[in-house]
Structure 1
């Protein structure tokens, strides 16, 4: 891989030829094949929704491989949190793009999706063909408490790095209360945090400048991406109107031309056209992650299009929560079931497969558009102090939002019934029905917590052990 660099020489620096040689040698420390293996590893471990997935990427990219610095990782994460779509998959795409340009971004983003796609496709086939899936139910029963432990560990890991002082902790707490108790839309929380961070940075800089923008690597060879980008930005990280126009053209063509062909060939009322258009719309409004749009998707899929039966959305969500990949991958299950139930001239299973592929395509193509279009501009703004203070506040708010996801997941994992109770002034609390506490799920969750926090087990051993316990409970004790 060859980086494009300019020939500027800063005072005290080496010659342009020496700088170019340094950049090339640094880049070659991360071979494309090695990066592919790392993205595959991340994809296979990406359980637990955005909290768990972001924690896995942070652990591998920042702590183990030391490819990127904390500041650069958080800077990219904040941009991805502002976008519609699955932030963890977009973060993987961003990091892959930094390392190996467009092919790196495509590889990282696609590999992040593939394990979950394959798992949900298999489970959808089993679900459609054999509604009484005791084996699958037993597997899910053990996996969910383990995922809960991993999500809790992820919240603590991200919080320790983002909440450096009481101000940041207060912003995180306020964000959690806003979304958990008052159902404030995620974009409003982000905008409010950005304003607080911008103003706070001007009045109290040392408390708000957590993401510090451009910083030099701490040692030669440390944080390889930062070593490459500190002095001379490669061409693909520099904003270009020509490149931006090309990205928009190619991505929109990949996204919309297949839909246009289907509409022309099959007509606007065909199931595939309906699914393609519906999930294309959903892809651009999923701010705040999958949970923010699932209620709308479920309502439309059940009551408008008759793709699902009442309650099946929760089954699909269970698949997405306990398989690797983004939670928004649940739309693949919806697309499969919709096509399976309206197959036209095709075999129902083949129709379901086509619907599954189409739904996944229109859901994730926009994600690559947002990253390849916006990332160069985000990289160019890393040195802006006002932007850094705003992003620092957004990072703190994101911790509160992720904590909300963790609490939501815990309630629906440990209790069979959770009721939303509304109070005056817009207050709304999710209150579990304590008599529905699942003692077995609680016990498996407690053992998973011990495995993660006390015994320091990795994700895979924890998941495997919990799944085994769930299956034993289902087949021997129920």
Structure 2
């Protein structure tokens, strides 16, 4: 009897690529609500319903993805799909996660460019912008509940918020500081940085990936220097060849070239996912490059929140409008489409590079207590950055003017109360009440908020 049991696990069926493709299609179509909502959808589908991956492995992968630059939910999908079906699985999951949002945002960008300043269309956007505040606040609460498990994590989150909001400390420095704190805390304060869950692969586990690892069937998850070199060279080429082609075709100082270079840079330096990166992108796109206005940036976020796919798809909207209004080498519409495609490419191709290159090593180090402590501290710091974003959006969505005051290194923002937009404030308050108190779905809240904005526009037009 004891000799036959292992034989039965040897033939444990895996998930077919066709079935996995159907699941990733579903995840992509249902991935509303930014990273918090998308991670929740994946957890429900992959951990609770299908039992492909255990909670411990899911959270370990999530912590690694939060440490990376770029959209963590997209990277998490690529990571899990890569574990099951190698590179082709990761490609399918990543593309299906992005594709629905890409086509939707492209269509909405075209409509916005052509009709966005129509009063009634603009009124709908006002309602959507107000509802976005509820989504961001909900993200703070959801991520906080998972990441802030003790007082030490709460302290890290609070310090991260103070650093980025009051002192404009760059997010990469906050990430490095939090990770270093976690490494030191592992030795000095071990109770605040508990050990990771057991990483033993179990052929009799109730979770598919654990069973396959226990049977030795996921050999591609083992690190290899030769494979790492091949992955790096291939994906760097895929990343940069389109950018170089645009520079050669339109010149280094064209808007399209500027978008390709800037969003490639953003893919490297913008840590913490979409919520953490939006303030940085908004500041550069609005203040430094003058591609769009602050109002258009908020409109883009509202559009991104109404569509499936990563919230970082707002960069596609930014690039479309920037090229549509400022690129002189092509017709406005063609320039907008090219800018939209190029920016989406340079934003998401690096996600595949980070996962295909780093995931084998992260899996090999899964039981390392020091790494686990560093990733836990980084996750806590991200909560503080998300809180900063919620404050930033609150001020800019319901006030027409925000004044900044500097006292040495200290920066304070003060809203001009005479510019308070009462309809936006009322819609935002109602959206928060609906989502946080009555647990109404985000789609219904966005729909109601858009209709409320339209109603306000009809009354006060």
Q: TM-score, normalised by structure 2?
A: 0.86
**Distance in 1 (alpha carbons) for counterparts of 2:406 and 2:41:** 36
Deviations 1:54-105 (A, max 9, x none): 4444454445554433332332222222222223322232233233322222
- Classify 1:174/1:17 alpha carbon distance in 2 versus 1 (closer, same or farther; 3 Å): same
Which runs of structure 2 are paired with 1:188-227 in the superposition (5 Å)? 188-209=173-194, 211-212=196-197, 214=199, 222-227=206-211
Q: Cα distance, 1:368 vs. partner? A: 1.2
**Distance in 1 (alpha carbons) for counterparts of 2:133 and 2:181:** 31
Contact 2:71 2:312 in 1 (8 A): yes
Moved more, 388-397 or 282-291: 282-291
- Classify 1:431/1:240 alpha carbon distance in 2 versus 1 (closer, same or farther; 3 Å): same
Which residue of structure 1 lines up, in the alignment, with residue 136 of structure 2? Answer: 151
Which residue of structure 2 lines up, in the alignment, with residue 103 of structure 1? Answer: 88
Is residue 413 of structure 2 the alignment partner of residue 430 of structure 1? yes
Q: Cα distance, 1:373 vs. partner? A: 0.8
Which residue of structure 2 lines up, in the alignment, with residue 6 of structure 1? Answer: none
Which residue of structure 2 lines up, in the alignment, with residue 298 of structure 1? Answer: 286
Which residue of structure 1 lines up, in the alignment, with residue 352 of structure 2? Answer: 368
Contact 1:82 1:187 in 2 (8 A): no
Q: Which runs of 4+ in 1 moved over 6 A?
A: 12-16
Which residue of structure 1 lines up, in the alignment, with residue 403 of structure 2? Answer: 419
**Distance in 2 (alpha carbons) for counterparts of 1:422 and 1:166:** 31
Instruction: Give 1:439's match in structure 2, choosing from 422, 437, 441.
Output: 422
**Distance in 2 (alpha carbons) for counterparts of 1:310 and 1:197:** 36
**Distance in 2 (alpha carbons) for counterparts of 1:41 and 1:150:** 21
Corresponding residue SS for 2:289: helix
Contact 1:418 1:432 in 2 (8 A): yes
Contact 2:131 2:427 in 1 (8 A): yes
Which residue of structure 1 lines up, in the alignment, with residue 223 of structure 2? Answer: 239
**Distance in 1 (alpha carbons) for counterparts of 2:298 and 2:309:** 17
Is residue 400 of structure 2 the alignment partner of residue 410 of structure 1? no
Q: Cα distance, 1:121 vs. partner? A: 1.6
Is residue 450 of structure 2 the alignment partner of residue 451 of structure 1? no
Instruction: Give 1:401's match in structure 2, choosing from 385, 390, 395.
Output: 385
Which residue of structure 1 lines up, in the alignment, with residue 454 of structure 2? Answer: 471
Q: Cα distance, 1:377 vs. partner? A: 0.9
**Distance in 2 (alpha carbons) for counterparts of 1:81 and 1:476:** 44
- Classify 1:103/1:140 alpha carbon distance in 2 versus 1 (closer, same or farther; 3 Å): farther
Which residue of structure 1 lines up, in the alignment, with residue 10 of structure 2? Answer: 20
- Classify 1:100/1:415 alpha carbon distance in 2 versus 1 (closer, same or farther; 3 Å): farther
**Distance in 2 (alpha carbons) for counterparts of 1:122 and 1:366:** 24
Which residue of structure 2 lines up, in the alignment, with residue 5 of structure 1? Answer: none
Corresponding residue SS for 2:70: coil
Contact 1:187 1:287 in 2 (8 A): yes
Corresponding residue SS for 1:431: strand
Which residue of structure 1 lines up, in the alignment, with residue 125 of structure 2? Answer: 140
Q: Cα distance, 1:166 vs. partner? A: 1.8
Unaligned 5+ runs, structure 1 = 1-11
Q: TM-score, normalised by structure 1?
A: 0.83
- Classify 1:128/1:345 alpha carbon distance in 2 versus 1 (closer, same or farther; 3 Å): same
Q: Cα distance, 1:195 vs. partner? A: 2.1
Q: Cα distance, 1:297 vs. partner? A: 3.3
Moved more, 161-170 or 225-234: 225-234
Q: Cα distance, 1:396 vs. partner? A: 1.7
Which runs of structure 2 are paired with 1:379-394 in the superposition (5 Å)? 379-394=363-378
Corresponding residue SS for 2:91: helix
**Distance in 1 (alpha carbons) for counterparts of 2:124 and 2:326:** 29
Contact 1:164 1:210 in 2 (8 A): no
How many residues align? The count is 456
Q: Cα distance, 1:364 vs. partner? A: 1.8
Deviations 1:187-225 (A, max 9, x none): 2222222222222222332321164362678x9764433
Corresponding residue SS for 1:290: helix
Unaligned 5+ runs, structure 2 = none
